[in-house]
Amino acid sequence: MNWFQVQAYLKYLCKAKYRRGHRIHPPFAFDLVRYLFYEKHQYYHFDIINDIRNDLSQSKSKLLVTDLGAGSKKFKGRKRSVRHLIKYNATPQKQGELISRLVVNFKPDNIIELGTSLGIGTLYLAMANSNAAVHTIEGCERLANEAAKNFSIAQVDNVNQHVGNFSEVLPGVVEGLKSVDVVYFDGHHDCQATLDYFNICLSKASTSAVFIFDDIYWSKGMAKAWEQIVNHPQVSVSFDLFRFGIVILNKEVKKQHYMVRWP
């Protein structure tokens, strides 16, 4: 963590008072926190993803990657070992499991993921609901090819891979969908880029769409983007879990923001 992140984390520790739903009164938000964030049920697909993650963690392969995003705080140069990509870039287990539970609960038709990398986050999204169509976008072709191997190992057939820059690919993906129901923003951690992608997805967002933003305190710029997203008039309920944030666009629910101590 850099100094900005340490400060942001200390602020979060002081302010995040909602644990296990205590003191959250509106039933919609209480139910989500109490019964979803802390749900214990282990879905069968969690084991499959853990096995793939463990295999990749022991891989000796190295990949030459093209990063179209805001750069990395962990990697220098273009050569990245698969095991380091799994350690530093892939969605962590607990976060992935919560994302899966959100998909199980909200039953989306269409899901978009910005940033496929090796496909770990995609698997949590796709395996939670085989009826949902998952569109995952990755700028590095080499990584997209590696992810495709992992989708094949997991035998998922509801993933549509798109290779290219988010700014070029996302508008077409959104345009082609009837509605955007869940979006996982997990790449290009830049304030303006994040806001641009958010606005593109908003244009087709269904009532009660769920948007998940990774690394909301990665930088001052990301914290600024997160603040603007939370305050956006179309966002009703937002949860700050420090490592990532979740917003729900349900017009029928009063605007509320929670900093939740999780896990």
Ligand X SMILES: C[S@@+](CC[C@H](N)C(=O)[O-])C[C@H]1O[C@@H](n2cnc3c(N)ncnc32)[C@H](O)[C@@H]1O
**Number of Cα atoms under 13 Å in the Cβ half of residue 185:** 33
Q: Which of 32, 128, 140, 259 binds ligand X (CB under 6 A)?
A: 140
* CA separation for the pair 40, 119 (Å, rounded): 24
First to last CA, the chain: 19
Partnered with residue 136 across adjacent β-strands are 113, 161
Q: Which of 121, 198, 212, 244 binds ligand X (CB under 6 A)?
A: 121
Choose between 33 and 183: whose C-beta lies nearer to ligand X: 183
DSSP H or E run through 183: strand 180-185
Choose between 108 and 121: whose C-beta lies nearer to ligand X: 121
Q: Residue 122 CB, nearest distance to ligand X (Å)? A: 7
Choose between 52 and 237: whose C-beta lies nearer to ligand X: 52
Q: How far from 260 is each of 21, 185, 245, CA to CA, in Å?
A: 8, 20, 10
Interacting residues with ligand X between 26 and 45 (CB under 6 A): none
Q: Which of 49, 53, 182, 187 binds ligand X (CB under 6 A)?
A: 187
Q: How many residues bind ligand X (CB under 6 A)?
A: 22
Asked if residue 69 binds ligand X (CB under 6 A), the reply is yes
Choose between 69 and 171: whose C-beta lies nearer to ligand X: 69
Cβ neighbours, 10 Å, residue 152: 11
Among residues 99, 98, 86, 102, which one has the least CA distance to residue 147?
A: 86
Stretch that binds ligand X, among 5-13, 63-71, 172-180, 240-248 (CB under 6 A): 63-71
* CA separation for the pair 69, 250 (Å, rounded): 30
Binding site for ligand X (CB under 6 A): 67-69, 89-91, 113, 115, 117-118, 120-121, 137-140, 143, 165-166, 186-188
